[in-house]
Structure 1
Amino acid sequence: MTKSSHENDVAFIQALADLLNQHDLAEISVKREYGENDRLNVTVSKYAPQVASPVAAAPLAAPAPAAPAPAPAPAAAPAEKPEIPSDPANHPGAVTSPMVGTAYLAPEPGAEPFVTVGSQVKEGQTVMIIEAMKTMNHIPAPRAGTVKRILVEDGTPVEYGAPLLIIE
């Protein structure tokens, strides 16, 4: 690789970083093929990469429709049950997305969802899948508890850190 080519690549990567900041993006990934043995693969991200284990399953062709989450029941007395914060991301039981991708609530179209509102989950149990770069990443429950709210619909895109569901 020539020095000029290297300088052009650095300028290109800097331009990607500027775009990332200007448009408040989480990540940009570009692959350039210049020839048979000359290519450039660049990923510019604001966040540390997440380690994901690939799933040996066929890609999801069409997402199954999600059941709407029922509204939480009103508290009987304020002292008995704390109020759910207006922003679900601030809730202490929020499970957030470890990556950018598409959230799926079931292992395949037409299958039963991993969890529903009211489901009891164990720590480490799969609660949904996030597809990122054609890889199905199982999202485990970080703690045991009851699923109180599901905050995403099946087949919707999610950002890094976005709240997915509430486990209490």
Structure 2
Amino acid sequence: MSKTHDADVAFIQALAELLRTNDLTELQVKRDYGQDDSLNVRVSRKMEQQVVQVAPSAAPAVAAPAPAAAAAAPVASESDDPAQAPGAVTSPMVGTAYLQSEPGSPAFVKVGDTVEEGQTLLIVEAMKTMNQIPSPRAGTVKRILVEDGAPVEFGAPLMIVE
């Protein structure tokens, strides 16, 4: 950018607010003002990842944690990182995780279920496309690490199948 535009500061502040209000982790924008005059802006933030474990007998609506319950949970050590578990199923994309095919229908799987390789575990919606996430191996669902309708990042652990 060759000269300062007064509106740029307000524009960057608006991008930061958009990031917060929409729970985004990153935005990148390029504004062209003319020949050899442009503004490239990349605004990003680090989001804390919340891990939710659903009890085998609890219904998904009951399993959603209250903010007080999340605060009372013990702090996990680095060795307890679900992404490092041998049976971790991670998200292949950024999107929104859904544990059932549509609202009101039963969940694809629940903790304790035995699954086959290739069986659908959940759906990740990305850009209005529903992507089925298959089980990479046969085994038992040990933990469900995401809530229904929760945003997920690329590589985020979704479930533990051992």
Q: Same fold (TM over 0.5)?
A: yes
CA distance in 1, matches of 2:150, 2:133: 15
SS state at 1:89 partner = helix
CA contact (8 A) 1:122 1:143 kept: yes
Aligned residues: 106
State the partner residue of 1:107: 101
| CA deviation map 1:25-63 (0-9, x unaligned) | 8xxxxxxxxxxxxxxxxxxxxxxxxxxxxxxxxxxxxxx
Alpha-carbon distance in 2 for matches of 1:145, 1:67: 25
Which portions of structure 1, spanning 4 or more consecutive aligned residues, are displaced by more than 3 angstroms? Answer: 3-8, 64-67
In structure 2, distance between residues paired with 1:5 and 1:124: 52
The superposition leaves residues 107-145 of structure 1 with CA deviations (integer Å, 9 ceiling, x where unpaired) of: 001111100111111111110001111111101111111
Instruction: Please tell me whether residue 116 in structure 1 is matched to residue 110 in structure 2.
Output: yes
For the pair 1:149 / 2:106, whether they are aligned, the reply is: no
**What 5-or-longer segments of structure 2 have no aligned partner?**
1-31, 48-58, 65-78
2:60 paired with 1:15: no
CA distance in 2, matches of 1:96, 1:6: 44
Using the alignment, how far apart are the partners of 1:6 and 1:90 within structure 2? 49
**Higher share of residues assigned helix:** 2
Cα offset, 1:90, TM superposition: 1.1
Equivalent of residue 132 in structure 1, options 126, 145, 155:
126
Give the C-alpha shift of residue 100 in structure 1. Answer: 1.1
Counterpart code for 1:89: A
- Aligned-pair identity (%): 62
Residue pair 1:103, 1:152 contacting (<8 A) in 2 also: yes
Q: After TM superposition, give the deviation of residue 158 of structure 1 in Å.
A: 1.1
Q: 1:6 to 1:67 in 2, by over 3 A?
A: farther
1:68 maps to 2:63 = yes
TM-score relative to the length of structure 2 = 0.57
CA gap of 1:156–1:4, structure 2 versus 1, over 3 A, is: closer
